[in-house]
Amino acid sequence: MKNLKVLVFALFTVLFIGFSQNSAEAHSPDLHEGVSGQDVTELQSTLKKLGYFNTTPTGYYGSITKNAVIQFQRDFNVPDTGFTGSMTRAKLSEVDMMARVVHGEARGESYTGQVAVAAVILNRLDSSAFPNNTYNVIFQRNAFTAINDGQYNLKPNASAYQAVKAAFKGSDPSMGATYYYNRSGVTDTWIFSRTTITKIGKHVFAK
């Protein structure tokens, strides 16, 4: 009987430890100090485009990467843990989506014009007239030409990422606009009914 109790206890302990490890693994950060691989390289590349990682991507998550992640988290209002948990991954995804729109729609414009396009996305997020998350704002039907013509799928350059960063940090050359358009490419004249706020390059910004 005593041996049976010992066996049951041992089995329970093994199961408990296994459960604890699985639970901890499920809630552990995807990337953190000490890990390496392609995912780290991609993270470093994105952080480099944003101006946080100022060396060649190595694929190793060391103190330089940790500090870069912390800087990103502070600028984008994510808890500055130094590892890429779910909140940081979600924010990086938002930044990437916005950079794709900026690159697809305004890569021929000045940097100020690119920041203005990024700001329009954020202004829409703040407006009750538009969806309340980045994905739905960007992929709202006919919201952005780059989605319809496939330019969204182009790889954004550093300028596009920097423009998104500037907009997140409060820069808004569009002066609160929730629309913009290029007169030469307008297919729906409804847009002309919006109140013009400013013009930057080939884009007219309106509300």
- The pLDDT of 4-24, averaged and rounded, is 39
Residue range of the domain that includes 115: 89-206
Contact between residue 62 and residue 69 where contact means Cβ atoms under 8 Å apart? no
| Residue 31: strand, helix, or coil | strand
**Domain identity same for 125 and 177:** yes
- The pLDDT of 57-74, averaged and rounded, is 98
Q: How far apart are CA 95 and CA 101, in angstroms?
A: 10
**Domain identity same for 96 and 79:** no
**Domain identity same for 94 and 191:** yes
Number of separate domains in the chain? 3
- What pLDDT, on the 0 to 100 scale, is given for residue 13? 38
**Alpha carbon distances (Å) from 37 to 34, 41, 42, 65, 164:** 10, 7, 9, 13, 26
- The pLDDT of 56-82, averaged and rounded, is 97
* pLDDT tens-place string over residues 82-137: 999 999 999 999 999 999 999 999 999 999 999 999 999 999 999 999 999 999 99
Q: How far apart are CA 183 and CA 180, in angstroms?
A: 10
Q: How confident is the model at residue 22 (pLDDT cuts 50, 70, 90)?
A: very low
**Domain identity same for 39 and 26:** no
**Domain identity same for 102 and 78:** no
Beta strands 179-182; 203-206: pairing state: antiparallel
Return the structure tokens found at 202: 């080939």
pTM, two decimal places: 0.84
**Domain identity same for 106 and 200:** yes
**Domain identity same for 12 and 64:** no
Q: List the 179-182 sheet strands across, edge first.
A: 179-182, 203-206, 196-200
**Domain identity same for 121 and 151:** yes
**Domain identity same for 41 and 116:** no
**Domain identity same for 95 and 139:** yes
The CATH number given to whatever domain includes residue 158 is 1.10.10.2520
Q: How confident is the model at residue 29 (pLDDT cuts 50, 70, 90)?
A: low
- The pLDDT of 151-160, averaged and rounded, is 97
% pLDDT > 90, the chain: 80
**Domain identity same for 94 and 78:** no
- What pLDDT, on the 0 to 100 scale, is given for residue 8? 39
Return the structure tokens found at 78: 């994510």
- What pLDDT, on the 0 to 100 scale, is given for residue 123? 98
11 pLDDT higher than 60? no
* Residue 39 burial (C-beta neighbours within 10 Å; 0-12, 13-18, 19+): middle
Return the structure tokens found at 198: 């400013």
- Element (H or E) spanning 144, and its range? none
- What pLDDT, on the 0 to 100 scale, is given for residue 45? 98
**Domain identity same for 106 and 188:** yes
| Residue 110: strand, helix, or coil | coil
- What pLDDT, on the 0 to 100 scale, is given for residue 4? 44
